[in-house]
Copies of this chain bind each other. A is one copy, B any other.
C-alpha cells in the first residue's frame, strides 16, 4: 500500500470506463478506491444473449476484485454511491461515505421510459443480470404457457413478442427471439408451433439502427425479416398495459414486451449540481472534468461530450474505455500540477448482430454485412471480454450454438413478474 499522503482517487462504477481508468493507474503512486454496487464487471454488449438463453451471466461477468487483485494500490468497495458532495469532496454511500482527492464518475445509464415509469413492470429493459434473467424467464415461459393454453386469442397473445426500440439492443434482441422461435425450440412442443410466434420490433424513427449507414440498416432489416420479425418503423408506443401494447392507435395483445428504446443517465449525476443534458448526462469540459471542479471527471454513458464534428459521442464501450484511460492520465497530470488535455475519440467502428451468422459492421472505409461481419463481430467481442475462461467458454457456446442450433441456458428461474395477459 502506498503512503497515506499520496493522492486518493475514487472511481465509482467498474464498467468499461471505470475499469479502464483504474487499470491505467496501475503503476501510479496513488491510492485508489473502486466503488461498485455489484461485485462484478459486466460485459453489457452481450447481456441480450443472457436474456435470450444463449449465455449464462457468469460468462459475461468478471469479479471486480479478481480483475484488480494484483493491483496493490487499489481497494474495492461493494457499495452503492447515492450522491457526490463536490464541496467537501466526499462520495456519499448508502452505508457510509468516502473522501477523495480526485474522482472519476462512471456509473452509466439505465433504461428510460420517457416519463412513463409505470411501463417498466410490463416491459423490462436490459440494465443488469437480474433484468436479463427476468426477460429470459418471460420469453421461455410464454411458449410454455402457450403450449397449455386452449383459448386461441390468449394463445396468440402468449406467442406475441414486442421489442420496443430499433437501436442495436432492440435489433439484437428481436433477432435472437426470432431465432429461438424459428430454430431453437421448433421441435420441442406438441400443441403449438413456435414458428407461429409473432415478433414485432417497434421503432419510432424512420429506420432501424439509426447510428449505422443507411445501406447497412436496410440489410439488418432484411435479416430480421428472414427471421420472421415484423419491423414497424415510424411507429410510437403510446401505451403499455398488462398484456397489451398500443402502437400508434393499434392495440396488440402481447404477453412479452421488452424495452430497448432509450436510456437515462444514472441519478448520481444530479447530485453534482452542474448542468445536465436532457438524458441526465453531465455536460463535461473537453478534458472530461466537471465545470468548476477539475478534480472530478465524468466518463462513459454518464458524460455528454461531442466529437470534433460537433456530434455527440455514442454510448459505446470503446468511448468509455478511451475516456477512462484519458481521465486517469489527466488526473496524473493534475497531480504533477499540469492541466488536463482535451479528449479525442478514436472511432474504430460499430457492429450489430442479427441472429445466427449475420451482422452488420461499419469500420468507416469498410462496411461489412452477413457472415463476414458476423465473424468480425465474434472476434471483436471475444477480444474485449475479460479473462481467458470467459473468452473460451463464450467462443465454445457460439460454436456449439452455430453447429447445433441450441441455446445453452434455457432455464426458467426466479419467481418475479407474473405472466401478463390482456384481461379476458
Q: Is the interface of A mostly helix, strand, loop or mixed?
A: mixed
- Given B58, B76, B96, B190, which contacts A411 in the complex, CB threshold below 8 Å? B58
Oligomeric state, in copies: 2
Q: Does A1 sit within 8 A of B, measured CB to CB?
A: yes
A-B contact pairs, 26 of them (CB 8 A): A38-B412, A39-B144, A39-B410, A39-B412, A40-B412, A56-B56, A56-B57, A56-B59, A57-B411, A58-B408, A58-B410, A61-B411, A63-B410, A66-B188, A69-B187, A75-B190, A76-B147, A77-B147, A78-B144, A78-B412, A130-B413, A389-B404, A389-B408, A393-B393, A393-B396, A396-B396
Q: In the complex where A1-B190, A78-B144, A392-B396 touch, is A413 in contact with B57 (Cβ < 8 A)?
A: yes
Given A148-B79, A188-B63; A389-B411 close (CB under 8 Å)? no
Instruction: Say whether A263 faces chain B, with CB atoms less than 8 Å apart.
Output: no
Closest CB pairs A-B (n = 8): A58-B409, A65-B188, A56-B56, A78-B144, A63-B410, A75-B190, A69-B188, A56-B58
Report the count of interface residues on A (CB-CB < 8 A): 52
Tell me the bound Cα distance from A409 to B414 in angstroms. 18
Query: A49-91: which residues lie under 8 A (CB-CB) from chain B?
Result: 56-59, 61, 63, 65-66, 69-70, 75-79
A415 is an interface residue with CB less than 8 A from chain B: yes
Q: Check B75 against A191 for contact (C-beta < 8 Å).
A: yes
B39 touches A140 (CB 8 A): yes
- Most chain B C-beta atoms within 10 Å of own C-beta, residue among A56, A187, A404, A406: A56
| A129-B188 contact given A39-B140, A78-B144, A389-B400, CB 8 Å threshold | no
